[in-house]
Amino acid sequence: MLTIDHLSASYGNLQILHDIHLTVQPGERVGIFGHNGAGKTSLLKCCVGELKPLLGSVHWMGELVNASRVELNVRRGIGFVPQGHNVFKDLSVKQNLRIAALMHEVSKLDDVFELFPILKDRQDQRAQSLSGGQQQMLALGMSLMGRPQMLLLDEPTTGLAPIIVKEMLQAIHQSSLSHGTSVLIVEQNVQATLAHVDRAIVMKQGRVIFDDDAKKLREQQSLWHLF
Ligand SMILES: Nc1ncnc2c1ncn2[C@@H]1O[C@H](COP(=O)(O)OP(=O)(O)O)[C@@H](O)[C@H]1O
Ligand SMILES: [Mg+2]
């Protein structure tokens, strides 16, 4: 359902993605790993139309992903949670979720509260009073309000305590299983993530140098220096 073909991309004269081929099937969970600067964020940006391909293409459900039309691509079912806690800090938890719902036609507050009960308890509290992990849960919850068919997640657990990392990854996995959502997740917490994805991709200097079962990456210790 997501097909990336011969994709290259650049910022100005600096080419940062080189000839990427990648497909993500319905319901499939794929982890993207690699050092800082490997091009992981740029790849996600191409998938949601925030970064325009230099060469090649990204197709979603058989149609070209519109470059520079992020909102259109989001409406077509691509949920994107950028790095950092992207929430409206001065608004309450519930207001944040309602705003996210306004941007879409479908919404289900209860689903998000079921996934993250702590958000239900704190629904009237201002987002800025939440912990980093709770804000990240809220950012994920906001993107789930649109019932995406694919979730693009950029380092959703960076900076969180190990126990919260586990909780987040489990919630993402659970949500994907319940709704058949595909997941493309960039992560620094490689070991923890490998337990929750089907496939693993390793990037190096703008290229995909490994694309196979998550299990194989767990076994192939010779590749671990790459992330
Ligand atoms: N907005 C930008 N303008 C210019 N160069 C950028 C920009 N964003 C990222 N880069 C460069 O592109 C390369 C890939 O970055 P990025 O996709 O953010 O990698 P990663 O997410 O794997 O750390 C890096 O060399 C980075 O410095
Ligand atoms: Mg990044």
- CB of 38 within 6 A of ligand 1: the answer is yes
* Distance from Cα 156 to the centre of ligand 1, integer Å: 18
Asked if residue 7 lies in contact with residue 55, where contact means CB atoms within 8 angstroms, the answer is yes
Mean pLDDT across the chain: 94
Structural domain contains residue 92: yes
The atom of ligand 1 lying closest to the CA of 154 is: 21
Overall number of domains in the chain: 1
Express as a percent the part of the chain with pLDDT over 90.
Answer: 84
Q: What is the pLDDT of residue 108?
A: 80
**Residue 200 is which amino acid?**
A
Evaluate: CB of 199 within 6 angstroms of ligand 1. no
Residue 112 lies in a domain: yes
CATH of the domain at 100: 3.40.50.300
- Please report the pLDDT score of residue 6 as a whole number: 97
Predicted confidence (pLDDT) per residue in 154-203, tens digit: 999 998 999 999 999 999 999 999 999 999 999 999 999 999 999 999 99
* CB atoms inside a 10 Å sphere around CB 161: 12
36 alpha carbon, closest ligand: 1
Structure tokens at 177: 């299983």
* Predicted local confidence at residue 226, as pLDDT: 82
Residue 106 has pLDDT above 80, yes or no: no
* Domain carrying residue 88: 28-43+83-226
Does residue 11's CB lie within 6 angstroms of at least one atom of ligand 1?
A: yes
HSE-up (13 A, CA, CB side) for residue 53: 22
pTM to 2 decimal places:
0.94
CA of 124 to the centre of ligand 2 (A): 32
Ligand 1 centroid, distance to 109 Cα (angstroms): 35
pLDDT band at 224 (very low <50, low <70, confident <90, very high): confident
Whose alpha carbon is nearest atom 3 of ligand 1?
11
Residue 62 lies in a domain: no
Q: pLDDT by residue (tens digit) across 16-75?
A: 999 999 999 999 999 999 999 999 999 999 999 999 999 999 999 999 998 988 989 998
Q: Which of 8, 33, 42, 44 to mutate to test the pocket of ligand 1 (most atoms within 8 A of CB)?
A: 42
Are 66 and 53 contacting, i.e. CB atoms less than 8 angstroms apart?
Answer: no
Q: Is the CB of 156 under 6 A from ligand 1?
A: no
